[in-house]
Structure 1
């Protein structure tokens, strides 16, 4: 059928498995564009009503379950004589293949797989579904390690009157439970027995019961003990062997009572305190020691008619005293005679005692008294009243919580208001006060979730108050509560304060620009920020070598919290195409001999309108200025004297001379002390603007 498309939607790509009843294909869901598994009923069974019903029952049983360890059912359909089920596709292998390739598995892996199977069975049993065919072939393990139980083809609801066909048993004989092999009704404990065999096989690499025929294997399930797992694989912890032994008890009453109980045992069996616990012992073990020899039953001809063997029940489930002869099952030993005789004698004796008591009662009859009502009275007052009436207070006083009756007062009494013989015993029940609930532990839960839980407990919504603080916890989650966890409180009267995390406290990002690498690291450490080595970038820049010229986060007012990762960029010098031009700016005072203040502003590749420190002069002075020019960025100097603009000059990138340049603010020396208005040179080039260059000239 590979290449066919079912219902115009499911394109069959490859066959991935199959059994006696159906074939399984990997397919593509053309509507949702995803891979699915499609189980198709074999054509030889499409006209067999029983197989069609069983096939449909699988879809119904599995579709009623929703659990991460159970294969999901997406769709069912029929195209002419082709019946199919569309299921979740599991990319992985089945447990049988894993056992075949790698058994025995390590105990922790086997327990992990068994726990997930047990979790799936717990969900199925909770929904009244018994699988009845738990075996490694029906356990899928995805590449992500997730275990999925599949193939509910012979599952039935536990409310059915029987889960066996007339005269036969359905299922896989090597994983039968004894009651399954007998052909009697099976339940949750039958799945637990099968899971015990699967766990046995994972840890030993072999099956507990083998035989020449299905019938011989079924009889071994009924009668023979299996080889202890630790004798096959001594590396199995005793605690794990105990789980296998308990799950595989022939008497269902000695097995785990539910999948939940077995799951709890699996979850703790590898803890160091349990690894070497004593071997499990059962009451029936002593009986088996005293009855070593049992006769194997003969097989009736009608029992050989099917591979799925019927083994009729010799007694009720859990009967360990079964006797067989060459004709099959015989009656029990007639052991009823002695108990019958003893029972008759006991009945006669009781009758005589009753007659004697009645006769003595007529002779020695104590006076009757009316039992006083002591409910709602203190314990001491109640005792006094009863003793005064000639009654005896039972030495065992019961206790119970009560909302209506205060602590220490009587809530109940026996024989209240009745007339009894003097000296009768009266039992009292005393109030322990209101049975108050305890505060749950909401740590780590969202505030709204915790608030709703408190409202459900009876706390008024207005009495649930948040108190926000900065904390390492996730914002919006509860850190603590008042009242504290496990503390009793009255829901209708208590105001509950939940302390909620606002997350880490935010602060303004420190400015790192123009700091050296060591200074930047010290600042980052001071604020408890993080600077991974891969967040430090060293590259040319027009910032002086070794200085930070870029950071992230970069905004001046940007908020950060402790632990935030920071990125910085550090200059390794000027770029190769930068030109460094040293200048000598000659300036004069406004009046020779009198002090003037000279200010120089400049623009170059490092930035615009950069300013040198003001210089005071009283005679002609040369002020050195170095410009750093870049392609597309010329130099520019503006000179001010006593706050008045004096001169400006441009230095194109292409026209920079090879040597230094002198910029004179006077075309000639002044004749008088009047200020001159000739150009002056711009300032030194130490501020940061573009890239970096060590020495352009």
Structure 2
């Protein structure tokens, strides 16, 4: 049934209860957008035509009831083989659950509940509906404390076949009246007997009759007396015990004559002057005390008559049988005459009364109906009664603009001439009926909550929404509401406040890498996180005292509040690292001429790092500081005038052992001398002297070849 749309209108949400005859579901009325309770007849009874016929008839009869303490019946129907009754849905608990949890209840609470049940029964009895199954299971207590009686008339639908099939009748045997247990016709007083047992159970925490079987319990209702309430709970006032004792009399004639009479007793039983009233005595007890004296009197009278009929011999005066008979006849004659005279007088008195009554009926003075609209109820009633009119009914109805207790309508218009004693009905302003706040929490979203409030006629402008983070309620669902669920409120003026969850608080993890330890710890605390473990770790790239790693969240990831953040902080270079200065010789392309020198080097701190750049005109030594490690050698690249010139490899092992080869310093070639226009001179052998430029070129070629040989000597291939 869950999820099924019954009759295309009622969407079944969940099962909330059930008994031997039916199952009860919570459903949503799609048409009216409200929650309802649906009682569905169990499948084993769908072919019992007699049961179904009575089930429908009694449900329809109960639907005619309209009372604040009666669960309203909205609809009765059938879909295929499913027979159902749609009822008002009550948020709360049934009385049986409350008794199990808290019994014995406080006296004032128990009396208040019983009084409301009695009010509901009075309404039903006036509509010729007998409940026949009053028990705590059928009494619902709403969140606002209002009592609601349910299952009106359904007990009538139980056929003889259902007693053994469902157990519903047997299950209620603890609340049967004696006449119900005997199987005879039950009436209003049977309901009052059951209510007395409910009140007994509320105040004592136990049932008056218990047995090993339903039959034994039923026999106890018929034959045995129960422990009086005050014997079980001495705190019960005598006035309240009297109500229980009277309502639970085995003879229906000795119980309350109506629910109204019992309700009046309940409403006054806790008044100070009634709490310690005498214990109630019943007619049968009084009769038992009067029977014996009456019998004695009767025997005495008989004895006197007998004595009078026997002749008594008196020496002074003897009476004969004839005289005695004559005297008896005279007495009988006098009695007959007195009877005739009395009858005549009685007839004349009755006749006189009839004449007076008829005269009063025929001759009735007339009165003019005054206008009592806009007057207080008390003033209006007194004014009408002073004129001899009878205020038959005062109906209280809320009307906008009319204060409570002010008459705004009268059944007979002003100036109407009526007979004295005529009835008149007044309609008086009442307090505005309040709505009951629905439950907007328990997984409902803001959109769903607003829909429910609109059903209660709450304007959206009077709904205040606030958003807060929450660790357990998902984003978008309601955290709290005001007014609270079940509270009564005026939808036209009440400002409803809702707090909506933003989900768990989100924290964007800051970048701690490169921060000092103290800076990182401050950032962690500012973000609502906690500091976890902090470990030292050697590093070639991160300065000592600064963060190398953070865990478990990396920068810009979403972190959960309160998470511990672990840090790894640089302890500086590892102990095996070596700082080594490599002196690099550089020379211009020609001595005295400008050349642009650029140095690029690699070591444990990184590859292709820019070193010194300078302009030189002569050979120089440029120191390059390298950091070497076992797994990281160094290299130095020399660029002259934008062209790669030399690459030197510095091995970690050489640096450690002091065996790093040092590059050779070579002088750059001299600048060229301009050629002479004079003929070449001859030397002493007569040969012409060699031109200086040619010598320089030869020298340059020779030196260049020598440098190339040296570079190969210090290349990466040679070193490795």
Structure with the greater relative contact order (CA < 8 A, sep ≥ 6): 1 or 2?
A: 1
What's the TM-score once normalised by structure 1's chain length? Answer: 0.45
* Higher Cα Rg, which structure: 2
TM-score (norm 2): 0.44
